[in-house]
Chain A
């Protein structure tokens, strides 16, 4: 079995996992559930040797080990992350992505292709093994990675939200595959937000909340309120006191989403927090980008009764929109610049910077410090800060709590409700139904660029 024994992981002042003991047994499908910042990814990284614990031990088959990523793979602990492309050799043929070449001195392509084909057959893939893997959709790439895991004698398979970006059919097929692997003795750790999946395939489920284990046991016997408590706890619900939306319409729009070739009608009121839910690839980011002039086409929006055209971010900013993009480090920050310069990137006076940072409880040494040095949560607050110096009417927050620790998340929730109480409109996207339930006055669900009735848990 693969085990964490009283493991604590800290980054600076932030404790991400606090005295957690966790066991993954061979032959089980172990569900792992928790909100953003609860410590799921950290737990997976500890098990796969990507990081080492601050205290406590990782144990493999009853002996304490210090894992490196390569060592973990050698010992049969294989991770399939959400970012499958990071683990694949996209321009190389499928068979070279599947078979391990360690221990093979002379390479015989024909033999490798045959071996690859047998592993691919076990994961239900009948495809041309000489094709570069980059040409295939996510569902195939995931299975290629699982085939690779089988080829390197996987004893434990750690899957980080493998179904998040899959269609319902593909997800169901993947789960069936996982079940058959578990029957063959593979220990599977499955991170997912979907209740139906957890109740269908898991033998045990662990809930993480604020870096601690909130529940461990069968998922099937839990009631809806139980799930809610184990996920967010009662204190979090108290932290969020929703504002009451006003009756004046702020946004009325017919948006075009070129990625999907669909049109969406969308309305939001003053003082309202609108939740936009959906899995990865459902169109959340595309909706946000359309409103902010990043869709590449001109969008017709009626803002406070006035028709405006948004084609470029500059126009959106001038009309009073603010954007917190999904990829904070890539799209939201000037990483090597100081906190001060990041906050002042839009407009505003330098003397207001410290006040804004203090109001968001940003932890930093001095405003001249590069943003790169801050933790994820504090970086996110800096992104938000730059839109707080000036008065904005509409805040577009694209997965603002992703990769953010729990205290920072609480501060972000608090800010969102404060903005709504001031009459601002906040559009908040998330793939976590519970988070949206907690924060939004109203939640709309997206599926491949269209509105749907209800999805997720």
Chain B
């Protein structure tokens, strides 16, 4: 008999996929809390949030590039460039807050445009093209600083640097409103904004359509290249904001400060695939991924695991996250 009406209930991807990351976070908190009495303190959590905020913003950038089916590996070096841009404006050119924010943001947007140029216009593979841009940007900031960091009262030709890290700039990364670190508020605002944009706006949905099936998207009249351009610009923008917070938090313009953040950001975004069992990059998942990594690295540091050994853990997590996203992807074809 012909089946005129198809009724089907499918099982959601469950178990590890859907709530696994949340369980993992709770489990980590429990383990670190039991083994170290300094872990479950306000000071430590405030610390975790401050480092998570930086990584999460870079990861947010990566997420945008992943949503449209691209990949931005240059976010770490963009953050470094933004750090140097902000520090140079403040210390070497004695500029005010607005300039110290606008310069790094402009630099971030510029990197985004550059990434868009090589991937969209020149049609180079995203992964390799943005890797190349990463090296270029890294070289640019090293050339500009001649490899030295920029800090208050640093010696320059004919005396010391004229400007300094002004308090209003330092407030971004170090201040708090009541008991809440200012960066936490910033982070929540950016993530909420990105989430609302991607879920409720027409353009936001188009990001997902482009990433899901670029040919189908093109055929239904979506301006595919423009959407990809937006994604890379947003990626550069968020990486730059991450760089600003980084500069403000450490109070210096350290060369290559953003480089180690790349791995964390990529891992956070890929953990995000699994968070709601959807197998898609999504900003809320990315935030949870960043928190997971932040807690893990903080706990490992408290256990006196040296930072170089932490890379082993990070790499392993990334492999696990990639594996999980691959399994989910496979169910969809």
Contact = CB atoms under 8 A, between A and B. Distances in A.
A96 B329 contact: no
B41 interface: no
B3 A127 contact: no
B205 interface: yes
B301 interface: no
A143 B1 contact: no
A108 B215 contact: no
Interface residues of A, number: 41
Contact of A70 (B201, B204, B219, B332): B219
Contacts of A337: none
Interface string A287-327: 00000000000000000000000000000000000000000
A169 B2 CA distance: 4
Interface in B215-238: 215-221
A170 interface: yes
Interface stretch (A98-106, A268-276, A366-374): A98-106
B213 interface: yes
A343 B8 CA distance: 49
B9 A86 contact: no
Interface string B1-38: 11111111110100000000000000000000000000
B215 to A, nearest CB: 6
B220 A134 contact: no
Contacts of A126: 5-8
A132 B6 CA distance: 16
B4 A173 contact: yes
A124 interface: yes
A109 interface: yes
A125 B9 CA distance: 11
Contacts of B216: 86-89
B225 to A, nearest CB: 14
Interface in B304-321: none
B329 A91 contact: yes
Contact of A143 (B2, B6, B205): B6
A132 B3 contact: no
Given A127-B8, A132-B278, A89 B209 contact: yes
Contact of B205 (A85, A87, A96, A176): A96
B244 to A, nearest CB: 31
B7 A127 contact: yes
Contact of A102 (B4, B215, B221, B331): B221
Contacts of A176: 2, 4
A173 B3 contact: yes
Interface in B130-170: none
Contacts of A109: 199-200
Interface of B: 1-10, 12, 199-202, 204-206, 208-209, 212-213, 215-221, 278-280, 329, 331-333
The 4 closest A-B CB pairs, nearest first, are A134-B332, A89-B212, A70-B221, A172-B2
